[in-house]
Amino acid sequence: MTGFPRGQAAVVGAATYGMDSKPGFSAIELLAKASFAAIADAGLVPTEIDAVFSTLPEDPFSAMSVPEYLGIRPKLVENSRTGGSAFQIYAMWAALALEAGLCNAVLICYGSNQRSGAGGLVRSATLPFPYEAPYKPRNPTTSYALAAKRHMHQFGTTREHLAEVAVAARKWAQLNPDANMRDPLSIEDVLNARMVSDPLTVRDCCLVTDGAAAVVMTRADRARDLPNKPAYLLGAADATWHRNISTSADITITAASEAAPRAYAQAGIGPADIDVVELYDAFTINTILFLEDFGFCAKGEGGSFVADGAIAPGGRLPVNTNGGGLSCVHPGMYGLFSMVEAVTQLRGIAGERQVKDARVALSHGNGGVLSSQAVTIWGTAETL
């Protein structure tokens, strides 16, 4: 008995909005577009939402401004700011709050106009770390490049392995009409792209896009009466080991290695039972690190695991089936898009990229610089 209410809550509605560049919209407008669409998709009306768990990157008070904008008076709000992993953490708290009867319908939402609005990366209100900032690291890229370099040194991972991740993401994106980058991409293209921070080229780095996403969660009994096929939350866990990369004891292992076994125990499954894997691929090294940390292969073997198209369409394991942060969408924080794709696959409405008979999907969030790690495991009714 882990205490987690396995399968007792479900996503019943999901939506994205403005994943391409949407000039003229503020971040909260994008968020609201996705939120109202997700509520409608769930077969609910906005006033039925009684809990709002939100992140707007540049608004530390989005717990109040988002309900205000939507016209909702929530009984419960959540605004953990762990970066891209916050949404998996929200789903975990949503399941617990729903089971406890604190609320009946949770909206989890995110929006950013970083590409069209600011013309640059999300400016989160974070304090500079006095023991790194003077050296002018270009974060987040610097931190992930340091991890990639060390992984290559320690385990023999190659730049070709990293490129395999980018190419696989692109091949999935080519099956997704909503993905931003759908042009052909080869291993050589990635290797020959402009070097940003060795060993990472621009094609090893995620996109910079606009985008909003939202999901609605209810208790399982109510979910069965709503129009969509529910995606039940089977397990969820998070772990935090550091904030800044220089304080990590070993940058080749993330806290996902600690969160994963807890989530698997809650769900009563292991990595071999997972049909679809949605990882937070802000950089190509991420996918390799997280495949290891989630137990799909041993530590150090992520490079050879992804070789020869193994995680591309038709490979041995479907990973980042929407095209991921590398080729589909990355508006500063990607975690909720990972979750929407997991739900889309379990509903069986993913079109050309649909993974056949997908019953269990893993959706992962990464926050900071390999700092916060959160994982959710979702299943169809057959898995209950």
Q: Which residues contact 356 (CB under 8 A, 6 or more apart)?
A: none
Residue pair 269/146 in contact (Cβ under 8 Å)? The answer is no
Contacts 24+ apart (CB under 8 A), 187-192: 187/160, 187/163, 190/162, 190/163, 190/166, 190/284, 191/159, 191/160, 191/163
Q: Enumerate residues 246-265 that contact other proteins by CB under 8 A.
A: 246-247, 249, 251
Residue 155 CB, nearest approach to other proteins (Å) = 12
Residue 128 CB, nearest approach to other proteins (Å) = 12
H or E element at residue 381: none
According to the binding rule CB under 8 A, does residue 195 interact with other proteins? yes
Of 47 and 247, nearer to other proteins (C-beta) is 247
Distance CA 281, CA 311 (A): 13
Q: Enumerate residues 211-230 that contact other proteins by CB under 8 A.
A: none
According to the binding rule CB under 8 A, does residue 126 interact with other proteins? no
User: Segment near other proteins (CB under 8 A), from 52-60, 241-249, 282-290, 351-359?
Assistant: 241-249
Residue 158 CB, nearest approach to other proteins (Å) = 15
DSSP letter for 56, please. Answer: B
According to the binding rule CB under 8 A, does residue 137 interact with other proteins? yes
According to the binding rule CB under 8 A, does residue 40 interact with other proteins? no
Of 6 and 151, nearer to other proteins (C-beta) is 151
Distance CA 95, CA 101 (A): 10
User: Segment near other proteins (CB under 8 A), from 6-14, 34-42, 146-154, 208-216?
Assistant: 146-154
Residue pair 230/10 in contact (Cβ under 8 Å)? The answer is yes
Of 75 and 138, nearer to other proteins (C-beta) is 138
- The dihedral sign for the CA sequence 342, 343, 346, 348: negative
**Contact residue for other proteins among 2, 131, 270, 349 (CB under 8 A):** 131
* Short-list 239, 317, 231, CA closest to 278: 317
One-letter-per-residue 3-state SS of 95-164? HHHHHHCCCCEEEEEEEECHHHHHCCCCCCCCCCCCCCHHHCCCCCHHHHHHHHHHHHHHHCCCHHHHHH
According to the binding rule CB under 8 A, does residue 196 interact with other proteins? yes
**Contact residue for other proteins among 81, 149, 182, 222 (CB under 8 A):** 149
User: Segment near other proteins (CB under 8 A), from 81-89, 174-182, 239-247, 361-369?
Assistant: 239-247
Size of the site for other proteins (CB under 8 A): 28
Amino acid at 259: A
Of 45 and 202, nearer to other proteins (C-beta) is 202
User: Segment near other proteins (CB under 8 A), from 94-102, 133-141, 318-326, 357-365?
Assistant: 133-141
How, if at all, do strands 195-197 and 200-201 pair? antiparallel
According to the binding rule CB under 8 A, does residue 108 interact with other proteins? no
Amino acid at 69: Y
**Residues in touch with other proteins (CB under 8 A):** 130-132, 134-138, 142, 145-147, 149-150, 153, 194-200, 244-247, 249, 251
